[in-house]
Each structure stands twice: as C-alpha cells, then as structure tokens.
Structure 1
Amino acid sequence: MTSGHDKLMIKKMVNFDVANPSEAALRAIDVHELLPQQEPFVMIGTLIHFDKTLTVTETEVQKNNIFVDDDRFSASGLMENIAQTCAARIGYVNKYILKKGIQLGFIGAVRNFEVIDLPRVGDVITTRVDVKEEVFGMTLAEASITCGDEVLVTSEIKIAVKEQEEA
C-alpha cells in the first residue's frame, strides 16, 4: 500500500525535470525499476544524482548481502556496485528520457581497478560514475566509491549496451 508521503512524492515526480532532476526526485525512484537485476543481486540502494555525464548512487552495506564476508563488502561486490551504478544510469535514461524499457548492459572491460579499503556492514558508500565517452553503444567511464571522505575504490569501466530486438 502506498503511503501519503509516497503519493505526494509520486505526484511531485510527474512533472520533475528528467534532464536535471533534484536529489529528492531521484531518491523517490525505486532502483529496481531501473535495473535488470533483482534481489538478492541488487547492489545499489538509491540514485542520488544524474546529469549528462555523472551518475551517483548511495548504498548501505547490509549484513545479508551475498558479497559480504566477515562483515566486509568484498571487492567483487564493489565491482558489481559500480556496474549497477552504470546500469542505473542506462535505466534512468531509457525510462525517463527515451521512454523505453530496460536494456541489458555488459561489462566490456575493467581497467585500473584499485581497492584501497573494504567497507564494513552498516557503512554508507557513495559510488560515482563519470562518463568520459559514449560511442556505438559503448560507454567509457571513470568510477570511484567513497565512504565519507575516504576513497575506497577507483576504476575505469567500459559498458556495452545490448540493443533491444524489434518484436
């Protein structure tokens, strides 16, 4: 059942600026609507920023996450968090700007993936994906994950988007 607050947020979002959305409008979006992944494989919590080149998500590391071991979010989980932040960007563009369905994205390459530290259960991590180039369905981006002021991960990622087949 939708609460009064949720109904108000949805009503406000009907007219939100999709090219320059507010953080409040983005936080009201259920990330499950943007991703091809479903639970228990969703590794991002909330979309908090979107513009032409920058996408930012925020995620609280949960104890029951499949990538948590000894109360630490693993390097594999951090890589998937970056990939899903890219997927949230693609999903946002498709749903709100292009008005089409979710497209599958595939990791084409990962370069310079450096894990400086692993976040702990309960930590809130912020993932930034800054698009550097988009050509022929390929997106090249720089990514970073922080917890507060501490940089945990830096990386470059190339994502390929599978075009939807005509029915």
Structure 2
Amino acid sequence: MENINLESIDIHTLLPQQEPFVMVGRLTHYDDENVETTTTIAPDNIFVDNGEFSSAGMIENIAQTCAARIGFINKYILKKGVQIGVIGNVRKLKINGHPKAGSTITTHVQIIEELMGVTLAVATVSCNGTLMAQSQIKLAVKEDEK
C-alpha cells in the first residue's frame, strides 16, 4: 500500500452516504484490524436532539466508521468503487453519555472476523477521553453486480 496521508482523504470518497447523512468527519487510522475516525458534531446534525448527539447517531457513526474502512480498502488497495453495506446486528450496546453538539468524538472499530461479505466488529465512541458508547456490530456488504 502506498504511503497515504489518511487525514487528507475526503471522507465522501469512501462512503456511499451523502449529506446530510454523513456521520464521520475524517479517517485517522487504518490497519488490517483497526480503523479510527474523528467527527465534530455539528449543531444542525440530524441526530442532535436538545444539543446532544443521540444514541442512534452514535450507532450510525460506528457503522459509517466501518464503511470508511471498507471504502478505503476498495479505493486504495483493491482499486474499485464504493460498496453499499447494511447494519445486520448491534449487540451489547452500552451508552454511557451523549456528546454535546460542537464536540469532537473519536470512534474506534476493531475487526473481529470477516467472512463472505459480513464483518463482525467491536466499537467504542469517546469524547475528550470519556467513553460514550460501546457495542458489537455486524455489517453486511452487498457484493458487486456481475
């Protein structure tokens, strides 16, 4: 893999989602088993309620962090286009708090297993060093049309 400055990548080139449904800001780390993104929560984000980023927003942020990883692999390693994925399952979700609008969250996803287009991962969302959410997530990626 070529030497790529991850933070210079336009996140929109890695995701199938478009505004206003993009819930990740920048890809900050990638390796075979881990991916990390940072996101500043805009006050007008569709998942902000009463000045706080909702639980649903954090789940979508986790899913899109996984999608950014898949998009990075497709674009920079496999040299192919963005694939559509869906959340198959969220388990062991624990919400410890909700980040305030204007704050920056860091989302870390560790890949546990990948098989036949399905990825199982564990994820955390933190804000200023405080754990906000953690979960397991299973995602399915639609295979390319032949």
**What is the TM-score when the length of structure 2 is the normalising length?**
0.97
- Partners of 1:137 and 1:69 lie apart in 2 by 34
Correspondence 1:153 to 2:133: yes
Whose RCO is larger (CA < 8 A, sep 6+)? 2
Correspondence 1:33 to 2:10: no
Correspondence 1:144 to 2:124: yes
- Partners of 1:60 and 1:30 lie apart in 2 by 15
Matches within 5 A, 1:9-158: 16-17=2-3, 21=4, 25-158=5-138
- Give the letter aligned to residue 15 of structure 2: L
**What is the TM-score when the length of structure 1 is the normalising length?**
0.85
- Partners of 1:81 and 1:61 lie apart in 2 by 11
> Which protein has the bigger strand share?
2
- Partners of 2:139 and 2:114 lie apart in 1 by 9
- Partners of 1:16 and 1:134 lie apart in 2 by 24
- Partners of 1:149 and 1:30 lie apart in 2 by 25
Deviation at 1:137, TM superposition (A): 1.0
- Give the letter aligned to residue 26 of structure 1: L
- Give the letter aligned to residue 115 of structure 1: I
Identity %: 52
Identify unmatched segments of 5+ residues in structure 2.
Answer: none
Identify unmatched segments of 5+ residues in structure 1.
Answer: 1-14
Q: How many residues align?
A: 146
Deviation at 1:16, TM superposition (A): 3.6
Deviation at 1:111, TM superposition (A): 0.2
Q: After superposition, what is the alpha-carbon deviation per residue over 1:29-88, rounded to whole angstroms, capped at 9, x for unaligned? A: 000000000000000000000000100000001101000011100001010000000000
- Give the letter aligned to residue 83 of structure 1: A
- Partners of 1:149 and 1:36 lie apart in 2 by 29
CA RMSD of aligned residues (A): 1.0
